[in-house]
Amino acid sequence: MNLPILDLAIFLIYMVAIVGFGISFSFRKRTANDFTTGGGRLPSWAIGMSIFATFVSSISFLALPGNAYLSNWNGFVFSLSIPLAALIAVKYFVPLYRKLNSESAYFYLEQRFGLWARVYASICYLLTQLARMGTILYLLALPMNALFGWSIPMIIIVTGISVIIYSMSGGIEAVIWTDAVQGIVLIAGALACLVVIFIEIPGGPDEVFRIAEANDKFNLGSFNLDFTTSTFWMILVYGLFINLQNFGIDQNYVQRYVSAKTEKEAIKSTWLGSLLYVPVSAIFFFIGTALFAFYQAQPDLLPAAMSGSENADKVFPYFIVSQLPTGITGLLIASIFAAGMSSVSTSVNSSATVILSDHFKKYIHPNPSEKTSMKVLWLSSLAMGIFSILVGLAFNGVTSALDAWWALASIFSGGILGLFLLGFIVQNTSSKQAAIAVLSGVLVIAWMSLPAILSLAGSTSLWIQPLHSNMTIVLGTLTIFVAGFVLSSIIPSKSD
């Protein structure tokens, strides 16, 4: 399939413009603080759109429609947990981090339990970001593969290198402003896709709803209290824990809290970004459902090679390049690409901040010069970018990128939310008691994770996991919190 000249021109112009816009901020960067927090001069609406874009990325834009196309709206339950998590965030997390005034999300854990807690949490975060970046790079390769038939590994490598250059040139200010632009364009693009589906499907919108209802595509999952399969309650609980971790201990979000001018501005941006994602994610799921109806009504429009479940994530990219009007196709592909690159750049920037604040300054040089700090940030960005490319290559061929990402996010979380809540709620827990609790949580996570890891690798485990793999973060978090609470209740706390 060949991309029309107009689409190609729009794609190239948009990409050059957005990358140039991001790189232009590099001329303003003079200190490491500017690179990591933007000097605290960013408006709340831009930060809020950046939080929204961090939620969206290409994981939502491509994987959510793929998930809905393959199954139903069960995954949307994850979004329903966000308002509750945001409420807790603005009441407790935002004020805490604004008071600490540190660019690191894990500075609090060191204050509460010692250096080991900060190191443990930061390593878990870096592993999670590698999985996230790899997922995004893989999903970004799908539209180009559908459009030109180019090799997915080659696209991942080229895109990854581009992201590295972009990330090393800008800072958090560039990330936030480009995120704001991308969020607006992606919402417009999603709505445009729905309009085209409604117009092009025989029978119009009524046919979409008829086919979807006939195939139970709007099902949110079973309401049975069963946590062994993907039920409504399992996804809701999983989503609550993941989003509490996002808002409470994720460097991506904490950097945005401290980038705002005031605490009030930080709270406004948190509400904007989180509440905007709920209806927009519903649009993404509806696109997947509408695509199912579209190709059920016109099966001859979908190549036989894409009919298998392993190609569900590729259906939406194929629709974009084969059904959208000339001009819109180029703009949408460019916006998906740019948003994905911006999202990866966000993770690269936050990961580099963690490496500098939580590792380099702790192990190597407590008070580095500005020149040394910037060099560490650049080298860290380079290293994280390279590793993310390798992870993206490992994702090639998975049945559902969304399911794979959720499983890895649960595993790599390391239960750090439990450690954070333990320190925040149970005030008399000592460092040693917290360390024992974390060890207990890690053992539970390892026990639950092995079947999921082997499944992703195409192998089988010696034992069957009694709960759904997404419950790993839930049990890991609860184990750490409960174990710490019990230890602090039965053993008097002494100075460590």
CATH 1.20.1730.10 domain extents, the chain: 5-393
Task: Tell me what pLDDT residue 102 has.
Answer: 77
Task: Tell me what pLDDT residue 479 has.
Answer: 94
Biggest CA pair distance of the chain:
73
DSSP state of 260: B
Give the span between the Cα atoms of 18 and 187, in whole angstroms: 17
For residue 248, give the H/E element and its range. Answer: helix 232-249
Question: Shortest CA distance to 409 belongs to which of 104, 59, 52?
Answer: 59
Q: Who contacts 135 (Cβ-Cβ below 8 Å, separation ≥6)?
A: 59, 63, 391, 392, 395, 401, 404, 405, 408
- Work out the angle between the directed axes of helices 328-354 and 5-24 (0-180°, nearest 10): 30
**What is 5-393's CATH topology?**
Sodium/glucose cotransporter (1.20.1730)
Question: Shortest CA distance to 104 belongs to which of 355, 363, 377, 420?
Answer: 355
Measured CA distances, 202 to 322, 325, 328 (Å): 17, 17, 22
SS3 category, 220? coil
Give the span between the Cα atoms of 191 and 188, in whole angstroms: 5
Q: DSSP letters of 428-477?
A: T--HHHHHHHHHHHHHHHHHHHHHHHHHHTT---SS--SS-GGGHHHHHH
Task: Tell me what pLDDT residue 173 has.
Answer: 76
| pTM attached to this predicted model | 0.82
CB 413 within 8 A of CB 480: no
Measured CA distances, 238 to 56, 124, 191, 442 (Å): 18, 18, 28, 18
Question: Shortest CA distance to 302 belongs to which of 310, 332, 294?
Answer: 294
Bridge partners, 1 (sequence order): none
Task: Tell me what pLDDT residue 270 has.
Answer: 92
Instruction: Encode pLDDT of 380-417 as tens digits.
Output: 989 999 999 998 898 877 766 666 776 777 677 778 88
Task: Tell me what pLDDT residue 11 has.
Answer: 80
What's the distance, Cα to Cα, between the start and end of the chain in Å? Answer: 66
Task: Tell me what pLDDT residue 402 has.
Answer: 64
Give the span between the Cα atoms of 376 and 179, in whole angstroms: 24
Q: Is the dihedral of CA 200, 205, 206, 211 positive or negative?
A: positive
Task: Tell me what pLDDT residue 71 has.
Answer: 87
Those residues of the chain that have pLDDT short of 50 are: 495-496
Task: Tell me what pLDDT residue 64 has.
Answer: 86
Task: Tell me what pLDDT residue 433 has.
Answer: 93
Task: Tell me what pLDDT residue 310 has.
Answer: 65
